Amino acid sequence: MALGSRLEIQSPRSMKRATQFAKATLKGTLSLLYSTVNTLYRKQNVAMFHTGRCGSQVLGDMLNQHPMIFWAGEIFQQHMKDKRKKAPNFVERTIDASRCTKASGIYGFETKHLPQLHFAEWCINMALGDYVSLLRKLDFQKFIILHRENYLRRTISVEVLGKTKAPHSRSEVRAVTKVSIDIDGSNGRIPLLDLFHSLDEHYGMLKDLVAPEEILFLRYEQDILEDPRKAYRKICQFLRIEDAHPTVDLKRTNPFAYEELIENLDEVRAALRNTKYRWMLDD
């Protein structure tokens, strides 16, 4: 049988396999080429740490408006619902896949640095110190810590999100969503004071792991709450780039008094009154 005849009678299955192989080979080659070009072009890699509900989204939106920056956001969040054990190189592959997505002079992403968030055993599953060491190995030389110091306000925001499923708003929020704060963990949550102590502990660990010249501290209450452009400008100075004058498109989701937001406010006051967190009640 002639060669042409043999080619003509190839099965659809073998043709499909050949096509898939060719596509995979091309994709791998292009990915490697793109990664190499991007690495040569990129000047800075930036890692931001926070615990969520602290203004990171509005800040990330502003950073993504800068022509030099590709801000990828919370790249591990999409993996949180899949609680199967991840491959040993899952963390490194996730970061590399993200930063090869788009060519830019500066790449940045965010990690929620709590064991019940991105550091869960089914996600990053690493000690904080080991994770920071891995980031250094991947050429991350700049670190941003975003801290919402009023943990009570953050807790309210988490509870409201659980009810509304609306993490952000582009218009002024007028309807109040009232929530109950779990004081003693009876609803399966971490007891309130234990949670606050854990937040303190993990922020303290971060500060000890990163050298002062490599780190920018941002405080939600001082740098984002009234005008997020303040935090944005600090980041531009930290990265030694010009302010690109971004727009601010998101609004606060819970700009209400505690009396309007907390169903069991008396219990919360009693729990915090004789602790170092009592100042949070004055907000």
Q: What is the band of 82 on the pLDDT scale with cuts at 50, 70, 90?
A: very high
Taking the CB of residue 146, how many other CB atoms lie within 10 A of it?
22
108-136 per-position pLDDT tens digit: 999 999 999 999 999 999 999 999 999 99
119 near 74, Cβ under 8 Å?
no
pLDDT of residue 2: 52
| Helix 229-239 × helix 56-63 angle, to 10° | 50
187 near 115, Cβ under 8 Å?
no
pLDDT of residue 214: 94
Which residue, among 226, 257, 236, 251, has the nearest Cα to 168 in the 3D structure? 251
pLDDT of residue 9: 54
> What number of CA atoms fall less than 13 Å from residue 231's CA on the CB side?
29
Domains of the chain: 38-282 (3.40.50.300)
Residue written as token pair 């891995």:
134
**Could you tell me the pTM of the whole model?**
0.86
Name residues whose C-beta falls within 8 Å of residue 160's C-beta, 6 or more positions apart in sequence: 177, 179, 253, 254, 261
Work out the mean pLDDT of the chain and round it to a whole number: 90
Cα–Cα distance, 208 to 36 (Å, whole number)? 33
pLDDT of residue 49: 99
